[in-house]
Structure 1
């Protein structure tokens, strides 16, 4: 059996101007260790298990950003569905040696994501634990088109959530139109959700593009936010409580944006 459900998030990486600075930042923040991989990049490990990759940007015009990859057992067919559903294919499927095959695409709102068809490498070896990936969500202004796109391309089943009473940014923000997506064949709802969609409101600048926000689990959200600042990063959204724990939106010392989530003491993290 594959390690990841079809269309579930299975990997994240970050493109950075300075790879060594990125290793210092995330090594200190999350306790990651690193090993070299093919090209100017490094695998990140937590407790010796793969959790992410850091890569040196090869083109200064590329965004400094975290990217997420969704699992597929037929990358060619998924790319065809992306085109049919109104998305844009940025990079057609290419082999990554024996590790697998990847492609890059954008949804109708412009949010960029990747696809991964596993070979020798399935993806995360650790997730939903401190120091590892736990959630991703797309932030968009084109709710209708984007919902239809992901539900057609990946077979996601959506559940709209009541987000009243939570913070302004990220999962479950107050007044934010938020939907979770569960894989095809699963009973839709928070217990089976693998990712989500949030609407960018008029409170944000019109030039803000659509994007994926990737979350990492931490033991103490407040401490992680403070530590990021001491390492040269910034806080985009200070720690606040949501139905799934306590979160903050941060930037590293090269301006790549990510979120941290401290799950509730008893309960389930946003999976």
Structure 2
């Protein structure tokens, strides 16, 4: 899983960045520093109060603070790489998706937009300029996989195929009870779509899930709780390794994974 994402991360159609908007930037910074060892540098001025999370001098994610009058859901957003944000935004609209913000310039970071697919899952577009996205992948504390959790894969899988050129391939163990597609580019897996039917969380609806690598899933999940977060789904064995779905103190949900290597 990790190796495939590393090899194609900046190719158009691949998840290339994960970003989080919160109400209290300082408290959130402390949580992720304690959990992942992140340090921070200022982000593009056009994005307001925004920092870039760093590990060993390399960028791994972004965190911003919402204006006091904004009361949006706190959630990690997966950004998908594109060579032309404006053209991709038009394709999203024509295929039944929505472009909520942008495309707009973000200084040296390039051009970005916030969109949603036909079933409502929010994701970002990123047309990189001099800033190339996540600088390191595969190490503990870095995003290593992105998975769309939605009602079913049939309609939404075709959307991502048309907009980003993905090949949507049913997982070898897919069945009537396990609805799962892998999204490939040039034969390499870059993301996945998991249809969960009526098991979709009512408080979140369809959403992209960010997976962060950890050295020990069980220990990391326990640490999340000690730091004021909570465990949404306890540690378990999954397709990619040992997983735990957790939430930070503001409620942003993400998955911890100890990948199989």
Asked if 1 retains the 8 angstrom alpha-carbon contact of 2:60 and 2:135, the reply is: yes
Question: What's the counterpart of residue 167 of structure 1?
Answer: none
Question: What's the counterpart of residue 168 of structure 1?
Answer: none
Distance in 1 between the 2:9 and 2:143 partners?
Answer: 15
Change (3 A) 1:244 1:33: same
Q: CA deviation at 1:3?
A: 6.5
Question: What's the counterpart of residue 84 of structure 1?
Answer: 94
Question: What's the counterpart of residue 154 of structure 2?
Answer: 144
The structure whose residues are more often helix, as a share, is: 2
Question: What's the counterpart of residue 59 of structure 2?
Answer: 50
Distance in 2 between the 1:255 and 1:25 partners?
Answer: 12
Change (3 A) 1:138 1:205: closer
**Deviation per CA, 1:177-215, whole angstroms, max 9, x where unpaired?**
1111011xx12xxxx111110113223455641111101
Please give the secondary structure, in 2, of the residue aligned with 1:254: coil
2:236 to 221, 234, 240: 240
Question: What's the counterpart of residue 17 of structure 2?
Answer: 11
Please give the secondary structure, in 2, of the residue aligned with 1:258: strand
Asked if 1 retains the 8 angstrom alpha-carbon contact of 2:153 and 2:181, the reply is: no
Q: CA deviation at 1:57?
A: 1.3
> TM-score, length-normalised on structure 2?
0.91
Residues paired across the two proteins, number = 250
Please give the secondary structure, in 2, of the residue aligned with 1:5: coil
Asked if 2 retains the 8 angstrom alpha-carbon contact of 1:109 and 1:142, the reply is: no
How do residues 34-183 of structure 1 correspond to structure 2 at under 5 angstroms?
34-37=40-43, 38=45, 39-58=48-67, 59-163=69-173, 175-183=177-185
Asked if 1 retains the 8 angstrom alpha-carbon contact of 2:35 and 2:223, the reply is: yes
Change (3 A) 1:20 1:195: same
Question: What's the counterpart of residue 30 of structure 2?
Answer: 24
**4+ runs deviating over 6 angstroms:** none
Question: What's the counterpart of residue 194 of structure 1?
Answer: 190
Asked if 2 retains the 8 angstrom alpha-carbon contact of 1:163 and 1:175, the reply is: no
Q: CA deviation at 1:163?
A: 4.5
Change (3 A) 1:198 1:92: same
- Measured on the aligned residues, the alpha-carbon RMSD in Å equals 1.9
> TM-score, length-normalised on structure 1?
0.87
Distance in 1 between the 2:223 and 2:256 partners?
Answer: 12
Q: CA deviation at 1:260?
A: 0.8
**Structure 2 segments unaligned to the other structure (5+ residues):** 1-7
Distance in 1 between the 2:146 and 2:236 partners?
Answer: 17
